[in-house]
Structure 1
Amino acid sequence: RMINSSNGNQLVAIELCYENINGSCIKTSYSLGPRVFLYLVFGFGIVLAVFGNLLVMISILHFKQLHSPANFLIASLSCADFLVGVTVMPFSMVRLVESCWYFGESYCKFHSSFDGSFCYSSIFHLCFISIDRYIAVTDPLVYPTKFTLSVSGICILLSWFLATTYSFSLFYTGANDDGLEELVSALTCVGGCQIAMNQNWVLVDFLLFFIPTLVMVILYCKIFLVAKQQARKIESMSNQTESSSESYKARVSKRERKAAKTLGIAVIAFVISWFPYFIETLVDAYLGFITPTYIYEIFIWLTYYNSAMNPLIYAFFYPWFRRAIKFIITGKVFRGHSSTIDLFSEKKLLD
């Protein structure tokens, strides 16, 4: 479409998302080189999020040795990250690179609801995991009787129910943009998918992120203090004759501390990924939505990439996960009795 420029002397070509539809959004896509580069970068993140988390879920659900309350929480967390890679990231990638929403108005709301659901589900899962690790490290021998399969199941159900109920209710009742009718009307066009959040709900969003995150940080600080004390105690006992029960307690404590350290790194990665986004949305809502779109997109994709990070963290710190991946990738997971393999053994399992 051709329109007059501001001085009225020349015509400027304007590209629209839908050329033959009145009220179409203006398209401002990238040239071929940057488009290919962005598709590769974002596509790589999607592949990592989808297949990395799929490997985590298959590993924990297939190998009986990994069937524990804590690991089921990790598998459920991976499911949330997997669903981000399937239902959110690909559509956000096309919207960013093409600067248009080609997936219909109804899926726009679904997309935003999925985004919120899986985000808060991850937060709640990580919060419950930090509670699990705190009990495991501070009282490792009593821990199996406190954090049972049924307790883990309740934590998983609560994480999913609270997150999905909140997100879908918020977007499908329209409460998110109450008082922003003029802004929404100005932004609305065919081929757009902009979700506005008023100050009240932005604040609620931030608190739903900040409070569980604060709980996680406090618990992990306590965990590492206890772990340090335990390590000193075990070291002081190393030159003395240990009873078998003391030796067993030391081994259990060491294992639980290592698991807490790994999951602590996952929590740190989560906070680094999500904190800038929540701060930006909070500040933006109170300053009249002045943040440039590209800044917002950088922050949102930083959060999406977090969904791909946990499998990389597990692969780096958990030898059992690396062994499980080898079994799955080589197809040996389909062999009879493969589910009973000892993944914690130092022997070569693929021989």
Structure 2
Amino acid sequence: MSNLGAVHANNETIRYCFPNNNLSCTKNFKPDAEYIFVYIFISMMSVLTVFLNLLVIISISHFKQLHTPTNLIILSLAVADLIVGMILMPVQGIKLIEPCWFFGEVFCAIFPLIFYVVVTASLGNLIFISIDRYIAVNDPLRYPTRVTTNRAVLSIIVNWLFSSVYCFVLLNESFISQGKNHTCVGECILFIKLGYLITDVLVTLVIPCSVIISLYMKICFVAKHQAANSNMVLEKKARSEKKAAKTLGVVVMVYILCWIPYYIAALTLGQDTGDSLVINVMYWVLCMNSCMNPLLYAMFYRWFRISAKYILTLKILEPSSEYFNLFHEEK
């Protein structure tokens, strides 16, 4: 018997995810206009996120003036956001409109791990950026010796390793029970115990954001004190660091605003919510954060606007373009 479709008692057509499989999950009919709108939106946001973060990656990698410890961590953040745009946003976007999982059991198990590792690593990058800015403002004379390129690279490696191990432990039970909780073929549900979810709230939201916000407040206080009690050169430096702290504060605030709705929904709806429309929407909101970060750089960092202009006009192909001055317009 073919499972191309069946007619329900109320004359609604029920379609199957896999028509030739009797164990297939079903999906309800949706207007073509809805499919077209969502897929266009998904494609545009994914392409925009990849494009903007590639600009950040190329800028920091190519121009010598941007080869600083701080920008290396920003580069790590951009790589995480690039992965979000290339992998997470398309898949998570499809889950908004398609109730069926067409990517197989293996990717169903791997996808949540990729998602959690990337977003956790993004938060780790923000923590290291805040520590870097705090040292730059609080101890500017010893900053070049305390914060070096090698230490920045080490912090990036530690961040990604910790994120990978932590997320594997968090989702380990989900891997073990993968497929056992599925009621039909074409279903992909993430199962996380409530205790693990509460732990995740503390580890990836409450504790790190408290640390970042406290450091940010100290940065503003120290920068303000230096601006009021220093000569003109140091005052200009203090204003620059305060501007960097302001940028960090906005990035962190946007990050928190993207995370809070997800945790509220997850804790409210329960632990087995991987196929919930609300949770999928919250996941998408998290992904949108990766598109916002480069936009914030463009808003606050003149060097990013200048480097993006050089890249888009192909001036980076000119000889010795890596030595272009990106700060001649700084005020």
What is the TM-score when the length of structure 2 is the normalising length?
A: 0.91
Q: Does 1:195 align with 2:190?
A: yes
Distance 2:302 2:8 in 1: 64
The offset of 1:148, in angstroms, is 1.1
Cα distance between partner residues in 2 of 1:80 and 1:262: 19
Range that drifts further, 55-64 or 274-283: 274-283
Shift in Å at residue 268 of structure 1? Answer: 0.8
Q: Which residue of 2 aligns with 1:313?
A: 296
1:177 deviation in Å?
7.8
* d(CA) in 1 for partners of 2:24, 2:163: 33
Distance 1:186 1:307 in 2: 31
Aligned mates of 1:148, 1:29 — CA distance in 2: 57
Aligned length: 325
Distance in 2, matches of 1:310 and 1:163, equals 20
Runs (4+) of structure 1 exceeding 6 A deviation are none
Q: Is 1:300 paired with 2:246?
A: no
Structure 2 counterpart of 1:84: 84
Change (3 A) 1:71 1:290: closer
Tell me, in whole angstroms, the C-alpha distance in 1 between the residues paired with 2:111 and 2:324: 40
Provide, for residues 270-323 of structure 1, a one-character-per-residue CA deviation record: whole Å limited to 9, x for no partner. 1111122123223333xx758992322221111000010010000111111001
| 1:131 corresponds to | 131
| Aligned twin of 1:255 | 240
Aligned to 2:66: 66
Query: Compared with structure 1, are the counterparts of its residues 257 and 15 closer, same or farther at alpha carbon in structure 2 (3 Å cutoff)?
Result: same
Alignment partner, residue 240 of structure 1? none
| Cα pair 2:137 2:219 within 8 Å, conserved | yes
Verify: 1:213 aligned to 2:209, yes or no.
yes
SS of 1:213's equivalent? helix
The aligned runs of 1:13-28 (5 Å cut-off) are 13-28=13-28
Shift of 1:197: 0.8
Cα contact 1:29–1:98 (8 A) shared by 2: no
1:17 is displaced (CA, Å) by 0.8
Matched-pair contact (CA < 8 Å) for 2:70–2:152: yes
SS of the residue 1:82 aligns to: helix
Return the letter of the residue paired with 2:26.
Answer: I
Q: Which amino acid aligns with 1:267?
A: V
**Amino acid corresponding to residue 200 of structure 1 in structure 2:** G
Contact 2:303 2:326 (8 Å CA) reproduced: yes
SS of 1:196's equivalent in the other structure is coil
One-letter amino acid of the counterpart of residue 281, structure 2: I
Q: After superposing the two structures, state which structure 1 stretch, 326-335 or 291-300, moved more.
A: 291-300
How far apart, CA to CA, are the structure 1 residues paired with 2:102 and 2:153? 38
The 1:290/1:115 distance shift into structure 2, 3 A limit, reads closer
- Corresponding position: 1:264 with 2:264: no
CA distance in 1, matches of 2:288, 2:256: 12
Alpha-carbon contact 2:59-2:304 (below 8 Å) kept: yes
Q: Quick one: distance in 2 between partners of 1:270 and 1:147?
A: 25
Alpha-carbon spacing, 1:35–1:11, altered in 2? closer, same or farther (3 Å): closer
Report the secondary structure of 2:229's partner residue.
Answer: helix
* 1:29 positional shift: 5.5
Q: Which runs of 5+ in 1 are unaligned?
A: 235-245
DSSP-derived class of the 1:15 partner: strand
Q: In structure 2, which of residues 222, 227, 230 is the aligned counterpart of residue 226 of structure 1? A: 222
Tell me how far apart the structure 2 counterparts of residues 301 and 283 of structure 1 sit (CA, whole Å).
Answer: 18
Root mean square deviation, CA, Å: 2.3
The one-letter code of the counterpart of 2:268 is V
Shift of 1:251: 2.4
- 8 Å Cα contact 2:182-2:188 kept in structure 1: no
Structure 2 residues without counterparts, runs of 5 or longer? none
Which amino acid in 1 is paired with 2:6?
Answer: M
Work out the CA distance in 2 between the residues paired with 1:254 and 1:121: 29
* Separation (CA, whole Å) in 2 of partners of 1:29 and 1:207: 40
Residues 31 and 150 of structure 1: CA distance in aligned 2, closer, same or farther (over 3 Å): same
1:327 maps to 2:310: yes
Cα displacement (A) at 1:169: 4.3
Q: 1:188–1:332: structure 2 CA closer, same or farther, 3 Å change rule?
A: farther
What is the SS of the residue equivalent to 2:61? helix
Residue equivalent to 1:277: 262
What aligned pairs does 1:85-234 form with structure 2 within 5 A after superposition?
85-171=85-171, 173=172, 175-176=173-174, 185=180, 187-209=182-204, 210-233=206-229
- Give the aligned partner of residue 6 of structure 2: 2
